[in-house]
Amino acid sequence: MDKVILAQDLSLSYSNNETIINKANFSIDSGSFIFITGASGSGKSTLLKSLYGSLKAKQGSLIVGGVELRGVTTSKLNFLRRHIGIVFQDYKLVKEWTIEKNIMLPLIINGYEKGVTQNQVDSLLKHVRLKHQAGKYPLELSGGEQQRVAMARALAHNPILILADEPTGNLDDYSSQLIWNLLEGANEQLNTTVIVVTHNIPRNLNVDYKHYNIEYGSIHEVL
């Protein structure tokens, strides 16, 4: 099976030089569903940041989607990010854009035609049950609704990899279930690799998944 992520002796730290992840070795198969857990401050989000290239490895090698992220050029990083969908706990929606335009963002970046873009956005809005809210702005929606928009945006361009940082952390049951259904769907139907950082793994998941735990800077698979 192809490896979508390969980390060798990966060490991560912020500018204060405190090592968050220490010489981690792991690989993630293409099409797998992964949960990463760990206590607060253990380095879950830091690891996720390194996977989309916002935090450079201090040591070791990190290859995502065939791109070595250590010393990666801006254009290569942009190329990689165009094939990744990211969901943040704080949604990161563009406040001055409508819901529709926010979902369109990855499609515009990837140069999709206007017709294709509109069809895809309409379909996603239906999936996240926000068709009637298309013209609204993020701040006019509830947290759960905003996260559903962020989820739709992450899926819009059919990415090879979805990175989700506590996507249901602040959500009600209804929105949480909708998010999990969408992530499962992307994984099962489109063979998208899904990596979710979370405190709690949902019990009613219908996909096979792997579970990694971060503790004291090390990453271990929980069997």
Q: In terms of CB distance, is 12 or 55 closer to another protein?
A: 55
Considering only CA atoms, which of 197, 150, 195, 204 is closest in space to residue 177?
A: 204
Task: Report in angstroms how near the CB of residue 223 gets to another protein at its nearest.
Answer: 32
Task: Report in angstroms how near the CB of residue 109 gets to another protein at its nearest.
Answer: 5
Q: How far apart are CA 62 and CA 5, in angstroms?
A: 7
Q: In terms of CB distance, is 23 or 92 closer to another protein?
A: 92
Task: Report in angstroms how near the CB of residue 55 gets to another protein at its nearest.
Answer: 8
- SS3 state of residue 4: strand
DSSP one-letter code for 122? H
Q: In terms of CB distance, is 109 or 190 closer to another protein?
A: 109
Which residue type sits at 206? N
Q: In terms of CB distance, is 49 or 176 closer to another protein?
A: 49
Q: In terms of CB distance, is 83 or 148 closer to another protein?
A: 83
Considering only CA atoms, which of 108, 95, 179, 191 is closest in space to residue 145?
A: 179
Which residue type sits at 180? W
Residues binding another protein (CB under 8 A): 49, 52, 54-55, 74-75, 77-84, 86, 92-97, 105-106, 108-110, 153
Q: Contact 221/56 with Cβ under 8 angstroms? A: no
**Alpha-carbon Rg for the chain in angstroms:** 17
Task: Report in angstroms how near the CB of residue 163 gets to another protein at its nearest.
Answer: 10
Task: Report in angstroms how near the CB of residue 89 gets to another protein at its nearest.
Answer: 12
Q: In terms of CB distance, is 163 or 219 closer to another protein?
A: 163
Task: Report in angstroms how near the CB of residue 86 gets to another protein at its nearest.
Answer: 6
Residue 97's alpha-carbon distances to 69, 102, 137, in angstroms, are 31, 6, 6
Q: How far apart are CA 116 and CA 223, in angstroms?
A: 42
